[in-house]
Amino acid sequence: MILAQDAASLAIPLEPLPSGQVLSGSPLAGFIELTETTGVWEHTPGTSTDVEADEVFVVLSGSATLSFTDPPLDPVELRAGAVVRLTEGMHTVWTVRETLRKVYVAG
């Protein structure tokens, strides 16, 4: 278990997202687990879909719009300092304009 880490400067291994999740661009994404339920996640510019787990996250850097297709909710603008709560099963669309990095706590 990592006790202290600079989440802003971690080298995160990035991989292409599955083609079925990509709506536009060629986004890459990846994460580093700090504990079983906590980690740092990054997504490069592009638009992708996801089905969420229970999670609270804080955006460290970047710019994106998080849209919700199920349930239909108002979009959320993401930028450094934004705090968001997602619930398991939400269907989302991530439109990332500037590489987004967040710290998440799942569960």
| Run means of pLDDT, 10 residues per run, the chain, 107 residues | 77 96 98 93 98 97 97 96 98 98 96
Determine the pLDDT at residue 5. Answer: 77
DSSP 71: T
Q: Which of 57, 55, 59 is nearest to 97 (CA)?
A: 59
Determine the pLDDT at residue 1. Answer: 52
Q: Which of 57, 70, 47, 54 is nearest to 101 (CA)?
A: 57
Determine the pLDDT at residue 61. Answer: 98
Does residue 61 belong to any structural domain of this protein? yes
CATH of the domain at 71: 2.60.120.10
Domain tally for the chain?
Answer: 1
Does residue 77 belong to any structural domain of this protein? yes
